[in-house]
Structure 1
Amino acid sequence: MFILKRLLSLLFICSFFWTATVQANENEAVIRIEASLYEAIDESVVLITLAPHEQVDVIETAATHSRITIGETEGYVRNDVLAYPVDRYIRTDTNAVDAAGNPITPLSYGTVVKVFDLEGDRLLMTDGAYVAREALAETLETSTRYAKPGANVLATPGGNVALTLEPGAMLTVHGIQDDHFRIKLENGYGFVPATMMSPSPVKTGTQVAVTGTMTFSDLGMTAVGQLVRGTRSSVYGTSGDYTRLYKGGMFVYVQTAALAEKMPTYAKTGSRYAQGEASLYRDVEKTDVVGKLKRSQIVSIYGSDGEFTRIFTNGQFLFVESKWLKTTPPPFLKTGQRYIQKETPLYTGASLSTKTSFKLKRGQLVNVYGTSGNYTRVSSNGKFYFVPTNLTSTKKPPLYDSSGKRYVRHDEVEVYASASTVKQVAELKRGLVVETYGTSGYYTRVRVNGAYRFVAMGYLSLTKPLAKPKVGTVFYAQFNGTPYFSADVAYSRPAGTLARGTKLIGLRSIDADFWHVRLPSGKRVYVLNPYIAETKPKAIQPTNVNPVAHYATTKQTPYYANPNDTRPIGYLDASQRVYPRGKSGDSYLIQYSWRPVYVKMKDIRIKQDPLLTKRSNSQQERMIAAAARHLGTPYTWGSQSPLNGGFDCSGLIHYATNQAGKIGGRTNVSGYWHSGHFKNKRTGITSGRRGDIVFFAGTYRSGPSHIGIMLDNEFFIHAGGEMLQINSIHDPMWRSNFLGYKSL
């Protein structure tokens, strides 16, 4: 009794599952692989074993099993053993065959058959026959071909001629059979040898339009455009009174009578000037205006036709009313006034080869008398000349052209009334955007409160100054041997060095040159800003460069966080001198805004710097050479040794003079100015010579505060700004602070 209850329970559950998921599905199918036919879905009883490719009828399908019949037997199989028929096209004439490969019935191109897509070279069809897999396709593709001269349509590949094709005929082809393209005919398909078809239109010659004529998409019924008189076109056969042309990506038809092998020719009979703007006509009927003659335009003429004169322009003969032409040019008419946008020479003709020594000034207002090509005719001193039209405008130009926007790099940047430090009129704040208008000496011209003013070039930048990194910023050492210190001053040797790529945590920014950081060990030290960056250095080791060469940008130059990068983080101005500290990959490593960055070597021009060439073995030359070897190294407060990663200004003097043999202890700038260590004190700015020590006062505090070494009577090398570099004493960043000179 217990067993009977269990069986009834299982039967109920199975019946519920089947009815909940079943789908009626009266389809043909085949068995994909050897499989069992079960009495029920629980697979407890196997009725028979089904062989691959046996055809069955599917009665209904559930989630996992299908109910099928084969012969008189009904049962269940798993869904994954069934394959269902799909539609396929016969893509090449073939035969249906039996299981032994014997032909049964022909199958022609385009026939749709139902097959079971099983493995093998032949697929079983629903009628029990087989067809070769290679003869089937999911879709029938067509393409376009063009008949070559002499092409015929054959009834079968290589068979009899069914019809002759017109040369250039465009045909839709339905595949290829035995090296013949199949084309659709009214009662079936024909075949054209592949060698007699072209994938592009077939040209049969060229003709020229001897008169303007309409183009048609058919034989004179539907107009689609116009063929200009004198136009030579490729011909693709004829049809009755019409010739087929290929224009604008399509075949069109024109009347054959409008075409000829060549245009009729006319003898030139002279030249004439247009007395005003005159219409050009294709024919004397004046129905088609194809252009204009400009006033004063000179044209060659080729006889007349009634009230019209024939001219030749743009490769074709056209007509203009004779009343508009004369043998003399018309008087010039004033057409307005223009302002000269920049100083330009005057030209006697409308070409650069006719330049004169006379000039028009920027902003000058002139009377104009028409144009000739890219030139405008102007009157000057009672005569007519030409100037380039793009240098004229109805608006008066500003006094100077804009040279782009720049950012102010520092606070309290002095603004001067002229290109000198005589009169300061304003100050600019860090980060302010200003429009620039070229340069004058060491000054950049800006516009402040509606007036042109001047600031030092070095105080402006193409790139917005960065905000100081926040506490907690992650930095990485960019150099092997990056020095670190126990205080924010480099009076003594470094407390140690860091390997390239060492990770640091920023604790506090100190001025522009030092950061208080935490090492991976937890130790707190001080490092120089120009030795660290927020980007991890790439595995490209820097190599040395020649520090005494002259390096400068060739154009507005991008700079990058790493060598071989492609996304810039800022830009340098054109012709800006840079001081590489090494090269890595495709880039030079330089210092800009107190951080290491990279510029592409291809953007940098290198030349010899005569100021840095050693001229003798004198003490002055040895001092200059000792300083020049460290160009580009960072400004380092308190340092007098390259082992500290750089120098401050007085530290560089101590180092270079001692290297040159003038031994002395370290002091500050005031000490060097007031002591007897250096001699021959002068305060005339023109009295400096190569090898002199130059002094400045009031740069950051009152009294003597900065020092450098003169390279000639203008340029000096010094540890100033953010690095060891070369500047001019006339640069406004230094001119107003000049104090004097002393000699070794």
Structure 2
Amino acid sequence: MKKWTAHVAGLAATLMLSSVLPAPAFAESSPVQPTAETQTVTETTGTAYLKEDAALLQTADSTTVIQQLPAGTTFKTLGTDGDFTRVSWQEGTAYVATNALTQTAPVFQKQATLMSKSSLSLVASPFDPTVVTTLPAYQRIDTYGTFDTFTRLKWNEQYVYVSTTQLEQLPKLVGTRYAKRATSLFVEPKTTSAKTAVTQNQSFETFGTTGTFTRVATKTGYAFVLTTDLADTQVVSHPETGVRYVQQQTTVYATATTKGEVVQSLPVNTSLQTYGVEGSFTRIKRNDEYAYVLTAHLGTLKYYPKTARLYVQRATPIYSAPNASGSIIDQQKTNTLLTIYGKSGVYSRIIFRGVHAYVKTADLGSEKVYAATGTRYAKRNLSVYTSASTKSKMMYSVKRADKLTIYGTSGSYTRLKKGTVYGYVKTSDLVTKKPDLYDVTGQRYVTEDDVVIRSQAKLSGKKIGTLKKGKSITIYGKSGYFTRVKYNNIFGFVDSSRIGLNKPKAKAKKGTTFYVHLDQTPLFSADVAYSRPAAYLKKGTKLIGLKSIDDDFWQVRLVSGQTGYVLNPYISTSKPDMKLTQKAINRTKIYTVKQTTSFFSSPTSPKGSGLVEQGKRVYPRHRVGNFYVIQSGWTPVYLPVSAVTITSDKRVIKKNNTRGEKLIQAAVQHIGTPYTWGSQNAVNGGFDCSGLIHYATNKAGKYGGRTNVRGYWYGAFFTNRRTSISSGKRSDIVFFQNTYTDGPSHIGIMLDSEHFIHAGGSQLQINSIYEPRWQEHFLGFKSM
């Protein structure tokens, strides 16, 4: 059978692919030794073929089967022996039944067409491992039956064999697809295999996929194309329509819809060759395949963000490039408004006649150039704005009476210049003559006698005059804790706490009818609260005034005829609203008046009885309906709840459980209660300054008998005396002197290094040690 090797070249000419796999292994029977008879050299008598599968016997009279042979096996015959024919076999002889032989080579009918799974090794016989030739993988193979584990194939008009396991059914046709782009056809489903060229829109019958490849038909079998290189329809070619630049980061879609597959994202200024538009999209190419981006995201020039709108300050050239050697395109006139798209060195980028161009940045400014038109004076302190509108940004300020050079007007505004930048002020705020140094800000009344006017807004300022209680004064703004006033045509300063919006009222006369405005109003048997009250009066109780005792007490007579002493902050000449009940308020909060507001003598009063200034802190004692009960001097009045803003006061929040914190908390609980001469207990309706200290220290666990301020200063109850005003700290006891009598005369509790809580003025309140009325009397600190 080795003569068949001469036909290999003929088969190779019919193949499309060339991959070669190893020849299959053959399971051979142990060789049978030829008989002595077969070893005798006998003359060949002819050629015969098995017309069917038959057994090869060792002798003519033996039943010993050497092996089964397939139909078509060719023999050299050596004569006959009865019903058997002697044949040449493997360098010896054997026997085959004569009726199984034929003189004509058999012809087998085609059974099926299969596909080679891999490279095929063809052998002449299932028992002869000699490889006749090889066939590539993925070829269509006509088969002509099987024998044992082999399949019969036809090779150059001869039959050969291959292991059946190397064949499989033909894949099913899926459909026709087209090459999206010029690509490659691979002999195996891997890009490292042999390949041939494929042109765009070349059509293929497809037979399923293998990994990332699609199997396609060839003339003799199958090959492979990358699935991503195929499309269901032919690709339509579009002509180039120009280059565009990405103006903002944008998405590339596989189809002209934002619901399509996202291909990639492109950064700003990516250059794209375009191929027309489709709806709101522009067509581009990506890997020889069309894709789409939103047309709105593209522009004819590279994208530079707008950075400014500037005016040409002087006639300046327009350059084609950001350097002096660039050609000059044109000239820009003074005051031309340019849109700037960033800078390049000393040049600013603009768009001129559809292309990027450049002008010198030094020739540009934020405003037009204007000529000076005169001078004016600021009527008051003014804000200068970036444009002719108070809604624009404030640039800087000018002071009252400043002399200003002006550069024309814009509507109701006048233009100023600072450096090279223009600003705007209201024309009505400028005058031709230099005005007085300060503007009038209101009218006030002096609330105490002998209020000192100083030359500066500080205690060390020279005394230039005094004002009497009740005098009406014009004020010219504030400076710290001082208010500016005019005295003998010169400006000076007074302590702001000694003037107010309300003119001091004369004391009520003997016989005036009063009404109690708060429940649990204490009635004392003397004009001092050293002991508990003799009784408590209900809201609405009618009283007849017998005698005014200083500012805080009135001696009164009840309807029953009983007499006693009542605190002024609990009574008023107006009747209270008996339908409204008093409710407790949170005394630890800060209550601030939103804007200057009227207060009323009762909740039903039709007309306000006085004013509370904007920003002033008030100390409500209770809430009655929609009003807070506060004190105006020594009188209870009603302030609308809606006029007040409530905020937290971090200074009064308890920080830990030390004795100092307990001291503070004991005082905080009674903020807003009236000043009550001689009282050391809340049941008396209030405290005096040393009574508050006695009460709070006992609540804090530091027990001791009450003494006056002098006793606390010179005694040993408190220690660590310090006289530097900057040395105070939280929970220290602060002392003042010469307030109403010589020597130590007032006392309080520090909340931090500046603020203290105390029973002072007309009620228990919080003040700063740097307010003039307290700083000028500061004595020192002591500690618990």
Structure 1: 5+ residue runs without aligned partners? 1-296, 299-329
Q: Equivalent of 2:554, from 497, 500, 515?
A: 515
> What does residue 641 of structure 2 align with?
601
Aligned residue number for residue 654 of structure 2: 614
Partner of 1:661: 701
CA distance 1:388–1:691, shift in 2 (3 Å): same
* Matching residue of 1:432: 471
CA distance in 2, matches of 1:616, 1:505: 49
8 A contact 1:695–1:706 mirrored in 2: yes
Give the match's secondary structure for 1:687.
Answer: coil
Of all paired residues, the percent bearing the same amino acid is 50
Relative to structure 2, which stretch is displaced further, 448-457 or 399-408? 448-457
Cα pair 1:564 1:587 within 8 Å, conserved? no
From 446, 456, 459, the equivalent of 1:408 is 446
1:372 CA displacement: 1.8
Q: Deviations over 1:580-604 (max 9, x none)?
A: 1000111000111101001000000
Q: TM-score by structure 1 length?
A: 0.54
Q: 1:378 to 1:680 in 2, by over 3 A?
A: closer
Given that 2:663 and 2:699 are in contact with CA atoms closer than 8 Å, whether structure 1 keeps it comes out as yes
Residue type at the aligned position of 1:536:
K
The 10-residue stretch of structure 1 (695-704 or 378-387) with the greater mean CA deviation from structure 2: 378-387
Equivalence for 1:375: 413
Partner of 2:197: none
1:740 aligns with 2:780: yes
Deviation readout 1:98-134 (Å, 9 max, x if unpaired)? xxxxxxxxxxxxxxxxxxxxxxxxxxxxxxxxxxxxx
Partner of residue 562, structure 1: 602
Deviation at 1:640, TM superposition (A): 0.3
Native 8 Å contact 1:624 1:691 kept in 2? yes
- How far apart in 2 are the matches of 1:630 and 1:605? 20
Equivalent-residue separation in structure 1 for 2:528 and 2:643 (angstroms) = 36
For 1:182-261, list aligned pairs within 5 A: none
Counterpart-to-counterpart distance in 2, 1:600 and 1:357: 39
Query: Please, which of 639, 657, 662 is the counterpart of residue 679 of structure 2?
Result: 639
CA contact under 8 A between 1:345 and 1:355: conserved in structure 2?
Answer: no
1:484 corresponds to which residue?
Answer: 523
Q: Of the candidates 623, 626, 631, which is equivalent to residue 586 of structure 1?
A: 626
Preserved contact between residue 340 and residue 362 of structure 1 (Cα < 8 Å): yes
Match of 1:452 in 2: 491
Match of residue 358 from structure 2: none
Deviation at 1:558, TM superposition (A): 0.9
Which residue in the other structure is 2:544 paired with?
505
* C-alpha displacement of 1:334: 6.5
Change (3 A) 1:333 1:545: same
Is this contact kept in 1: 2:456–2:493, CA < 8 A? yes
Deviations 1:366-398 (A, max 9, x none): 344542212123466688654331321223233
Q: Counterparts of 2:390 and 2:764 in 1: how far apart (Å)?
A: 48
For 2:746, which of 703, 706, 715 is the aligned residue? 706
1:680 aligns with 2:716: no
State the match for 2:574 in structure 1.
535
Query: Which AA in structure 1 matches 2:430?
Result: T
Q: SS where residue 650 of structure 1 aligns?
A: helix
Letter in 2 for 1:413: V
Instruction: Give the Cα–Cα distance (whole angstroms) in 1 for the partners of residues 564 and 396 of structure 2.
Output: 69
Superposition map of 1:145-184 within 5 A = none
User: Residue 290 of structure 1 corresponds to which residue in structure 2?
Assistant: none
Secondary structure of 1:624 counterpart: helix
d(CA) in 2 for partners of 1:633 and 1:348? 51
Contact 1:564/1:585 (CA < 8 Å) preserved in 2? no
Distance 1:730 1:583 in 2: 31
Q: Distance in 2 between matches of 1:334 and 1:398?
A: 25
Q: What one-letter code is carried by the residue in structure 1 that aligns with 2:413?
A: Y
Q: Equivalent residue for 2:273? A: none
1:349 and 1:458 mapped to 2: Cα distance?
40
Which structure has the larger Rg over C-alpha atoms? 2
User: How far apart are residue 450 of structure 1 and its match?
Assistant: 1.7
Show CA shifts across 1:237-267 (max 9, x none).
xxxxxxxxxxxxxxxxxxxxxxxxxxxxxxx
Mean alpha-carbon deviation: is it higher for 587-596 or for 565-574?
565-574
Say yes or no: does 1:366 pair with 2:404: yes
**What is the DSSP-based 3-state SS (H/G/I as helix, E as strand, rest coil) of the residue aligned with 2:642?**
helix
1:369 and 1:544 map into 2 onto residues whose CA distance is 61
Post-superposition Cα deviations, 1:598-650, rounded to whole Å, max 9, x if no partner, equal 10000001011001100011111111111011011000000001111110000
Deviation at 1:460, TM superposition (A): 1.2
Look up the SS of the partner of 1:652 in the other structure. helix
Greater shift, 580-589 or 564-573, is seen at 564-573
Task: Give the TM-score, by structure 2 length.
Answer: 0.51
Alignment of 1:246-285 (within 5 A): none
2:584 corresponds, among 544, 548, 557, to 544
Distance between the aligned counterparts of 1:352 and 1:514, measured in 2? 53
Query: Equivalents in 1 of 2:607, 2:417: separation in Å?
Result: 52
Partner of 2:330: none
Aligned to 2:339: none
Q: CA deviation at 1:439?
A: 1.5
Matched letter for residue 511 of structure 2: G
Partners in 2 of 1:347 and 1:665 — Cα distance? 64
Shift of 1:348: 6.8
Q: Which residue does 1:337 correspond to in 2? A: 375
For residues 306-343 of structure 1, what are the alpha-carbon distances to aligned partners after superposition, in whole Å with 9 as ceiling and x for unaligned? Answer: xxxxxxxxxxxxxxxxxxxxxxxx99786653212244
Q: Take 1:347 and 1:455, find their aligned partners in 2: how far apart are those partners? A: 34
The Cα offsets for residues 72-107 of structure 1, whole Å up to 9 and x where unpaired, read as xxxxxxxxxxxxxxxxxxxxxxxxxxxxxxxxxxxx
Match of 1:717 in 2: 757
Using the TM superposition, name which of 548-557 and 364-373 deviates more.
364-373
Tell me the distance in 2 between the aligned counterparts of 1:533 and 1:356. 49
**Is the alpha carbon distance of 1:685 and 1:537 closer, same or farther for their aligned partners in structure 2, counting shifts above 3 Å?**
same
Whether the aligned pair in 1 keeps the contact of 2:450 and 2:468 (CA below 8 Å) is yes
Offset of residue 524 of structure 1: 2.0
AA aligned to 1:607 is T
Once the two structures are TM-superposed, the CA of residue 495 in structure 1 deviates from its matched residue by: 1.1
Asked whether the 8 Å contact 2:395–2:423 carries over to 1, the reply is: no
Equivalent position SS for 2:697:
helix
Instruction: Output the CA distance in 2 between the equivalents of 1:603 and 1:480.
Output: 25
Per-residue Cα deviation, 1:14-42 (whole angstroms, up to 9, x for no partner): xxxxxxxxxxxxxxxxxxxxxxxxxxxxx
| Equivalent AA in structure 2 for residue 440 of structure 1 | S
SS at match of 2:583: coil
> What code does the residue aligned with 2:677 have?
W
* Alpha-carbon distance, 1:344 to partner: 4.2
Distance 1:569 1:415 in 2: 29
RMSD in angstroms over aligned alpha carbons?
2.5
Could you say what secondary structure the match of 1:685 adopts? coil
Deviation at 1:463, TM superposition (A): 1.1
**Residue-by-residue CA offset, 1:201-227 (whole Å, 9 max, x unaligned):** xxxxxxxxxxxxxxxxxxxxxxxxxxx
Tell me how far 1:401 sits from its aligned partner: 2.2
- Contact kept, 8 Å, 2:482 with 2:496, in 1: the verdict is yes
Partner secondary structure for residue 637 of structure 1:
coil
CA deviations on 1:132-163 (whole Å, 9 max, x unpaired) are: xxxxxxxxxxxxxxxxxxxxxxxxxxxxxxxx
Match of 1:395 among 429, 433, 442: 433
The aligned length equals 418
- Name the aligned partner's letter for residue 400 of structure 1: Y
- Sort the Cα spacing of 1:384 and 1:619 in 2 relative to 1 into closer, same or farther, 3 A: closer
Distance, in Å, in 2 between the alignment partners of 1:701 and 1:582 is 33
Contact 1:564/1:586, CA 8 A, preserved across alignment: no
Instruction: Give, in angstroms, the shift of residue 354 of structure 1.
Output: 7.6
Q: Which runs of 5+ in 2 are unaligned?
A: 1-334, 337-367
